[in-house]
Amino acid sequence: MRSTLAALGCVLTPLAQSCVRPAQVSDSYAFGAGALNTDSWSTHPRARVPTPAPRPPEPAPVARTEPPKPEPPQQTVQTPQPPKASPRPEPPPRVVAQPIVEAPRPEPEPVKPVLEAPREQQPTLAGSTRTEADLRGIQRVEAASALLGTPGLQDRAFVAHVLRAAGQDLEVDRNRPYAPALYELLQHRGLLVQTGAALPGDLIFFKNTADLNSNGRPDDGVTLVGVVERIDGSRVVLIAQRAGKVRRLAVDPSRPELVRDAHGEVVNTRLVRWPGSDGPLTAGQCLAGFARP
**Residue 124 scores a pLDDT above 70:** no
What is the C-alpha to C-alpha distance for residues 258 and 252, in angstroms, rounded to an integer?
8
Q: In 110-201, which residue ranges form alpha helices assigned H by DSSP?
A: 132-146, 155-165, 178-188
Note the pLDDT tens digit of each residue in 97-117: 566 555 666 665 654 443 444
**Residue 172 scores a pLDDT above 60:** yes
- pLDDT above 70: percentage of residues in the chain: 57
Tell me the residue type at 43. Answer: T
**Residue 86 scores a pLDDT above 60:** yes
Which whole number is the average pLDDT over 231-259? 96
Note the pLDDT tens digit of each residue in 16-48: 455 445 544 444 444 444 444 444 444 555 556
Q: Which of 269, 268, 250, 242 shows the shortest CA–CA distance to 158?
A: 242
131-291 adopts what CATH topology? endopeptidase fold (from Nostoc punctiforme) (3.90.1720)
- Can you give the pLDDT at residue 160? 94
How confident is residue 131, by pLDDT bands cut at 50, 70 and 90? confident
Write the CA distances from 147 to 29, 31, 141, 227, 247, integer angstroms: 164, 158, 10, 12, 9
**Residue 281 scores a pLDDT above 70:** yes
CB-neighbour burial class of residue 241 (10 A; exposed 0-12, middle 13-18, buried 19+)? buried
Domain ranges of the chain: 131-291
Note the pLDDT tens digit of each residue in 175-224: 999 999 999 999 999 999 999 999 999 999 999 999 999 999 999 999 99
For the chain, how long is the longest CA-to-CA vector?
211
What is the C-alpha to C-alpha distance for residues 285 and 260, in angstroms, rounded to an integer?
14
Torsion of CA 108, 113, 118, 121, to 10 degrees: -10
* Cβ atoms of 213 and 219 closer than 8 Å: yes
H/E run at residue 193: strand 192-193
101 CB contacts (<8 Å, ≥6 apart)?
A: none
- Can you give the pLDDT at residue 33? 45
Which whole number is the average pLDDT over 146-163? 94
Q: Helix, strand or coil for residue 19?
A: helix
Which whole number is the average pLDDT over 148-177? 93
What is the C-alpha to C-alpha distance for residues 248 and 245, in angstroms, rounded to an integer?
10
- Can you give the pLDDT at residue 122? 52
CB-neighbour burial class of residue 165 (10 A; exposed 0-12, middle 13-18, buried 19+)? middle
How confident is residue 247, by pLDDT bands cut at 50, 70 and 90? very high
What is the C-alpha to C-alpha distance for residues 293 and 185, in angstroms, rounded to an integer?
10
As a whole number, the mean pLDDT across the chain is: 78
**Residue 288 scores a pLDDT above 80:** yes
